[in-house]
Amino acid sequence: MPSWKLNGFIALAFMALANPAGAQTTAPPPVGEKVEILPVGFSPNGLSGPGGDRLRDALTAAQFVALGEDHGLAGAPKLAEALAHDAAAIAETQNAGPLYHAVEVGPHSAAWIGARIETGGVDSLADAFAGRPWAMPFLSNREDAALAAPFARSGRLWGIDQEFIGAPSILLETLAARTKDEAVRARLAAWLEQDRAALSTGNFGAIMMSTAAPADFAALRKAFAGDAEAAAIIDALAESARIYGLNNSGQYLQNNEERQALMQDYFLTAYRKAAVPAPRVLFKMGAYHMGRGTTPTSIYDIGSLLPGMAAANGRTSLHIAYVPTAGMVRQVKPSPERFTDVTAYRDEAIAPILDAAGIAHDAIPADGHVLISIAPLRHNLQGKKLRDLPAFSRFLLLGFDYLVTTRGAEAATHFEAVGKPAPR
């Protein structure tokens, strides 16, 4: 008899001796953990409700607060405002220094936004984005800009992503203002017009970030020789174009790997330059970036970096997902009239989790939000139930601590939809 069979036979024999026929085992049957669904409120003045109390408790030990969102929703930046308010208050009682805010925007675009908020307020961005609503993906939504404003005014806003495909509409203007060479200005103006024509119709393959070759960026860099600030902008655009090129050529894994490496480098550079050691940071980015573990794009993203860094400082990282089950969302839908549009929100992540856990969908309110602690869900759905979930649903369960959700999601407010109010 093979040794593994013999060992198994001996183990069964001892089990039979320990539990004679007819005897009952003393171990109770497994009981699922209770899944709490707690009302949570949030405003610029902080968190509220039982769910708010739970999150506030979790904030006390957190060095990093990683809020992962599904883009185009107003609730995520509003939740982040409340988290920022309470995290700052906690940090003050602990004498832990200021809170910083990291955003899914390129560093040069974030600096451009910060300068305009500092001089004209949040509402002045309606004028800044007029004629170029595609300039950046997220701070062109009013709720995101309002979240970023206090950080921008105090030099605590970190742009840690690649420069967005629409960023040339502001960064090339910045370069044009730094040169007296008419030929260089003409080249920059031609790129701007090229982007304006292409992006207004959604032709992303015809934009400067898709068509400019390395030689174009090298020539531009040569034209600004001796201008360190211009060189940094050009290098950032060139690197972003290279990363986008990987995606355009179907090298999706490499695209995500290279983008993550760039984000990590930008983040660590800002982190090391902070005014205090081990600074506390609030992140608000797409959920793929903020969860722990392998993402649905098959990489380790910035969210996987945070737990170890925090642990090394005796702190924690708190990972929260803001993903509604229904409502409205703002999506990029280019047309000659507008760049975005509001459409019905389609949930593809939370419903499968609720179904697998046997939780009625109407347990999620149509008005207001709830907080769900994810660990009990994860434990109750371990094994086959977990493996059978869609990739994003599984990532939410494994990579986050809390879920904030609602059936009444509100769409983000793009500046192209708010007119031109007076600065505040």
Within 8 A by CB and 6+ apart from 182, the residues are: none
Look at residues 87, 110, 334 and name the one whose alpha carbon lies nearest to residue 206.
334
pTM: 0.89
CA distance 45 to 86: 8
- Tens-level pLDDT at each residue, the chain (424 residues): 344 333 443 333 333 333 434 333 344 444 578 999 999 999 999 999 999 999 999 999 999 999 999 999 999 999 999 999 999 999 999 988 999 999 999 999 999 999 999 999 998 999 989 888 888 878 999 999 999 999 999 999 999 999 999 999 999 999 999 999 999 999 999 999 999 888 888 888 899 999 999 999 999 999 999 999 999 999 999 999 999 999 999 999 999 999 999 999 999 999 999 999 999 999 999 999 999 999 999 999 999 999 999 999 999 999 999 999 999 999 988 887 888 999 999 899 999 999 999 999 999 999 999 999 999 999 999 999 999 999 999 999 999 999 999 999 999 999 988 754 433 3
For 382-419, what is each residue's pLDDT tens digit? 999 999 999 999 999 999 999 999 999 999 999 988 75
pLDDT digit string, tens, across residues 41-67: 999 999 999 999 999 999 999 999 999
Can you tell me the distance from the alpha carbon of 266 to that of 171, in angstroms, rounded to the nearest whole number?
Answer: 18
Looking at the DSSP bridge assignments, the partners of residue 414 are 141
> Angle at the Cα of 306 (from 91 to 161), degrees rounded to 5?
100
Q: What is the pLDDT of residue 335?
A: 80
Q: Check residue 246 and give its pLDDT.
A: 96
pLDDT at 336: 78
Residue pair 102/355 in contact by the 8 Å Cβ criterion: no
Other CB atoms within 10 A of residue 219 CB: 13
Q: What is the pLDDT of residue 105?
A: 96
What is the spatial distance between Cα 379 and Cα 385, in angstroms, rounded to a whole number?
10
Burial of 180 (0-12, 13-18, 19+ CB in 10 A): exposed
User: Rounded distance, CA 275 to CA 264, Å?
Assistant: 19
d(CA 60, CA 107): 29
Give the SS3 label for residue 48.
Answer: strand
**Predicted local distance difference test score (pLDDT) of residue 419:** 58
CA distance 152 to 276: 17
Contact 123, 421 (CB under 8 A): yes
As separate numbers, helices (DSSP H) first and strands (DSSP E) second, the chain gives: 18, 11
pLDDT score at 34: 92
CA distance between the termini of the chain: 83
